[in-house]
Chains A and B, each alone.
Chain A
Amino acid sequence: MDYPLQLTVNGIPVKRIVEPQVRLLDFLREDLGLTGAKEGCGTGDCGACTVLIDGDPHHSCLTLAVEAEGAAVTTVEGLVSDDRLNEVQSAFVSAGATQCGICTPGFVVMATAYLRDNPNPTDDELRMGIAGNLCRCTGYETIVTALHSVIDGKVERIEVAPEPLELVPEPEGE
């Protein structure tokens, strides 16, 4: 049996039919074409798949898509507004806080939520706040530097080319 699913993704209302074993991560990437959230470990250890569900960071690899019924989901793609990257995204660009890039969307989503809830953390608190996100390239220093620049209010949001956020349309005949 397949299940009707209604939710909003990056502010866009979405209505689809899904199989119950489909994870939110696969639903976002494959059904909607939002490939920002990544699969790292698939077991809730690395944080690469982090998305916001009703504002809170969750592992989309541990969440069934059907469990997001009625929720507002935000992916890294949805953090851009007014044709500008958000502060965390901009800080990552300016500090070069990325190498291979697989962990970056998860870090950006997690840090965006963490700094919204804890705008003035100590260095130790900040590191604990992002402890659920693993990076195997940077040694974390550039990531922490980027986030400190956000905390210090030193980040100017970077302008990006206007790109309407589009989802893969619903398959015909459904």
Chain B
Amino acid sequence: MRRFDYAAPTQVFEACALLADRGDEARVLAGGTDLIVQMRERDRRVPLIVSLRNLAELKGISQNADGSLTIGAMATGNEVHHSALVQNHAFFISEGAELLGSIQIRNRGTLGGNVGNAAPSADAAPPLVAANATACLVGAKGTREVPVGDLMTGPGQLALEPGELIQSFNVPAAPAHTGTRYVRHVPRREMDIAVVGIAAQVTLEDDLATIKDASVVLSAVAPTWPHATTAEQALRGQPVNDTTLANAGEAAAADSRPISDVRASAEYRRMMVDVYTRRALATAIERARAAV
């Protein structure tokens, strides 16, 4: 690896100031599971690494008075996966985090890193989008909240101002009778990258037979993590039955914009969006019915 300077500030404002001063010369280091590999394999010159490891504000998972959940950007994959708070609040965020590489990767890789790396095939980010989570961004001008769904503008691209970093994620409390599911299609069970990922959040009416609201977010089949908006419209107000799920699956496939690459063809991906949307919705509905 090429030489670089390294700073591990203990105050968020110091980290932001370093990033603002050095601009494109500085890179943020969270878990390093992507950055270190990129720096070695692509022989990337990075003059300054700003490590986030000493920033207390970016750590931990806690429930707020309004029922929402705050997850620090530096919460690791294993912390998020094993957190009872996360599992009770929005189970699919735990499910997505469980799919980040191996146990070793999940001990280093962070939720903020999975979002910040802005890979279309991310597994931990789509559930945040489907849960209508916001990212708390901190910079020289203070903090601002941005929906996680608006944060990624394209592969590897984030809508961050110079000197800004992701401090935490805020996940609103879901209404009663809500269930969630994140499911992905991969040729191997572990250590693989999603061919298709679907994050679904479904809220049922009190009758538990009608869909009140639904969120379907796509991974690995578009340049970002978009809502399958046509599929969501096809679900709202509809009875829970096979026809409704089939319509939603078909609509989600039409909503997707996959590419062909080494993992799968665009055509195959679109078919799998249909299949996995139906599967994700079926599990989310089952969980919504079981929820208190």
- Asked if B103 is an interface residue, CB under 8 A from chain A, the answer is yes
Cα A50 to Cα B37 in complex, Å, equals 16
- Asked if B268 is an interface residue, CB under 8 A from chain A, the answer is no
Given contacts A20-B4, A20-B5, A42-B40, contact A67 B102 (CB under 8 A): no
- Asked if A36 is an interface residue, CB under 8 A from chain B, the answer is no
Q: Decide: A44 and B101 in contact? CB cutoff 8 A.
A: yes
Q: Decide: B107 and A57 in contact? CB cutoff 8 A.
A: yes
Given contacts A21-B1, A132-B190, contact A63 B108 (CB under 8 A): yes
Contact pick for A21, options B4, B37, B53, CB 8 Å: B4
Cα A22 to Cα B128 in complex, Å, equals 34
Cα A89 to Cα B49 in complex, Å, equals 38
Q: Decide: B191 and A20 in contact? CB cutoff 8 A.
A: no
- Asked if B105 is an interface residue, CB under 8 A from chain A, the answer is yes
Q: Decide: A44 and B104 in contact? CB cutoff 8 A.
A: yes
Q: Decide: B104 and A132 in contact? CB cutoff 8 A.
A: yes
Q: Decide: A67 and B190 in contact? CB cutoff 8 A.
A: no
Q: A23 to chain B: which residues have CB within 8 Å?
A: 1, 36
Mark B1-37 against chain A: 1 for CB-CB distance below 8 A, else 0. Answer: 1111110100000000000000000000101110011
Cα A47 to Cα B190 in complex, Å, equals 13
- Asked if A114 is an interface residue, CB under 8 A from chain B, the answer is yes
- Asked if A121 is an interface residue, CB under 8 A from chain B, the answer is no
Contact pick for A131, options B2, B29, B41, B191, CB 8 Å: B191
Q: List CB contacts (< 8 Å) of A93-116 with chain B.
A: 110, 114
Q: Decide: B108 and A58 in contact? CB cutoff 8 A.
A: yes
* B interface bracket (residues with beta carbon within 8 Å of A): 20 to 34
Given contacts A3-B6, A21-B4, contact A62 B37 (CB under 8 A): yes
Q: List CB contacts (< 8 Å) of A124-147 with chain B.
A: 128-129, 131-133
Q: B3 to chain A: which residues have CB within 8 Å?
A: 19-21
Q: Decide: B105 and A44 in contact? CB cutoff 8 A.
A: yes
* Nearest chain A residue, comparing its CB with the CB of B76: A56
Q: A58 to chain B: which residues have CB within 8 Å?
A: 104, 107-108
Q: Decide: A62 and B36 in contact? CB cutoff 8 A.
A: yes
Q: A3 to chain B: which residues have CB within 8 Å?
A: 6
Q: Decide: A131 and B189 in contact? CB cutoff 8 A.
A: yes
Cα A110 to Cα B106 in complex, Å, equals 13
Q: Decide: B108 and A59 in contact? CB cutoff 8 A.
A: yes
Given contacts A20-B5, A23-B1, contact A47 B104 (CB under 8 A): yes
- Asked if A1 is an interface residue, CB under 8 A from chain B, the answer is yes
Q: Decide: B8 and A66 in contact? CB cutoff 8 A.
A: yes
Q: A167 to chain B: which residues have CB within 8 Å?
A: none
Contact pick for A57, options B2, B6, B51, B103, CB 8 Å: B103
Q: A50 to chain B: which residues have CB within 8 Å?
A: 104
* Nearest chain B residue, comparing its CB with the CB of A43: B37
Cα A56 to Cα B107 in complex, Å, equals 7
- Asked if A30 is an interface residue, CB under 8 A from chain B, the answer is no
Q: A64 to chain B: which residues have CB within 8 Å?
A: 6, 29, 32, 36, 49, 51
A116 to B: closest C-beta gap in Å: 12
Q: Decide: B102 and A131 in contact? CB cutoff 8 A.
A: yes
Q: A56 to chain B: which residues have CB within 8 Å?
A: 78, 107
Q: List CB contacts (< 8 Å) of B73-131 with chain A.
A: 78, 101-105, 107-108
A28 to B: closest C-beta gap in Å: 15
* Nearest chain B residue, comparing its CB with the CB of A51: B104
Mark A37-65 against chain B: 1 for CB-CB distance below 8 A, else 0. Answer: 00000111101001001001111011110
Q: Decide: A128 and B190 in contact? CB cutoff 8 A.
A: yes
A174 to B: closest C-beta gap in Å: 18
- Sample 8 A-B pairs with CB under 8 A, ordered by A number: A1-B5, A44-B33, A58-B107, A58-B108, A67-B8, A128-B189, A128-B190, A131-B191
Given A57-B103, A67-B29, A129-B103, 5 more pairs with CB closer than 8 A: A1-B5, A23-B36, A44-B101, A62-B37, A110-B103
5 closest Cβ pairs, A-B complex: A132-B102, A20-B6, A131-B190, A21-B1, A56-B107
